Chain A
Amino acid sequence: MSTLWESMGPALWPAFWITIKLTFYSAIGSLIWGVLLAGMKVSPVPVMRGFATVYVNVVRNTPLTLIIIFCSIGLYQNLGLALAPDNATFIESNNFRLAVLGFILYTSTFVCETLRAGFNTVPIGQAEAARSLGLSFPQVFGLIVLPQALRTVIAPLGSVLIALTKNTTIASVIGVSEAALLMKSELETNGDQILVIFAIIAVGFMIITLSEGAFFGWAAKRWAVKR
């Protein structure tokens, strides 16, 4: 037990900090790209609608593991896409950013679908009223429909975020040293403490996901559109 703690204790916070950072950057990126996709999906331009539909259907049906590996082997090793400055920590930070890119590409499709469901909860009269004031599509979308839809879908967006948090473990397949990779290496070196290692990592994840859930539950109530 004490040897386990000696090797695992100091590594615990750095590993979970990487998990949190992966989640944070991916969440921001997915929200932005997801809103753009959702906007395209309801836009008056058929080409944009088609693009968003194809993108969402293709990416959503691809295993995330494959997307992450594609970001590493495909984009970096074969196409030379380097996302980090060339310095001592290049491999580490490049893999981190490639993983974030992969998570954004994947998670944004779920953000898009959730938002699109949210658009349908906005009463038609709202959009009609906005149009009767002479607002253009970007104005109707950005000022009237999107803000109301966002407030309606806070809770489902929370579940997308929780799913994203859990998915960040997949970054371990391209060597990002987050919590799942720590767990794997600890299981390899301290094979007699399987249950303890599992419990520590599990509790770590539950602390993150449960607090996300609590926050989004609170936020959904706080900002819900009263209709």
Chain B
Amino acid sequence: MTLLYSEVEEELRAAVRGLLADRCPPAAVLKRIESDPYDLDLWKTLAGEIGVAGLLIPEELGGAGASASEVAVVLEELGRAVAPVPFFTSSVLATQALLPTGDALLGELAEGRTTAALAVSFAASPYRPLRGSSVRIEDGRLSGTVTGVAGADVADVLLVPVDGDLYTAEGAAVELVPSLDLTRPVATVTFERARARRVGACDLAAVLRSGAALLASEQLGVAEWCLESTLAYVKERHQFARPVGSFQAIKHRLADLWLDVVRARAAARNAVADPSPLSVAVAQSWNAAVAVHAAEEALQLHGGIGMTWEHPVHLYLKRAKAAEIALGTPGDHREALSSLAGVPGPE
């Protein structure tokens, strides 16, 4: 077990970063967000040319049979770019729900021809997996609603967990709602006696937990971008005849932020090297907060320009704040640590 990156992972990172630099600079993301946030052409290239969609899927099912630590590196890069692609929702969450079933759908997901979403609220957690869902099954038909579903609007297939089983459904109504995170909007999904096919068993809490483990890497990527762009800005921006970054009040804040990011990197690597409930809870309670803090510091240290729609820092702030809630808030994960780490509360 190691907390370092392997050479293979660094090569994968370079490929993803190169593509994103070309095709997904912050200016391009800014341009799309109000009309049609997802960049499905970019998604096709990522899935088809770099093969990211099938990373978690075994080779015999048409995937790359890679490990969570490679997926984590992709997520770091997608986080750095706030890339509007359904990688996390389709290739991580939905794929992990499908994997134990061995369903043929996995082959389609691996190629990136089909995109799936798990009809679970993004605000659910391993501790409360059904938050926001009222879906039930009767005579093979699904009824009810799920709020706050990420990736549903661009999904070809919806995977619906009900009572320990996973279903695909036909004819669900997907209604996009105005979302805090512009680059990963959420939708309300409604089923009215929708025809369903049972795919297999589903341990939803486990799926959400492995999702949370990997989300920590995306949060690390968000934090890294915020720190790096802020460093670049305060070196350039002059006030009082000096670069703003030469003032000690600013230097010390950035040194502290750097230390938080260093520790977020260790926590993210640990969550993929050892995805135990304890490691995941540690990574989520730390990294979620570090990403938000990094984005808030970035906004503040950019001054007025940081507050504008034109500057991409708000994309990162919105992503970070939404991801802080996603799959358990830091407080939810800390509460879980009470028993996981043996720190019981008042009696």
Q: Do A and B bind each other?
A: no
Which positions in B face A, CB cutoff 8 Å? none
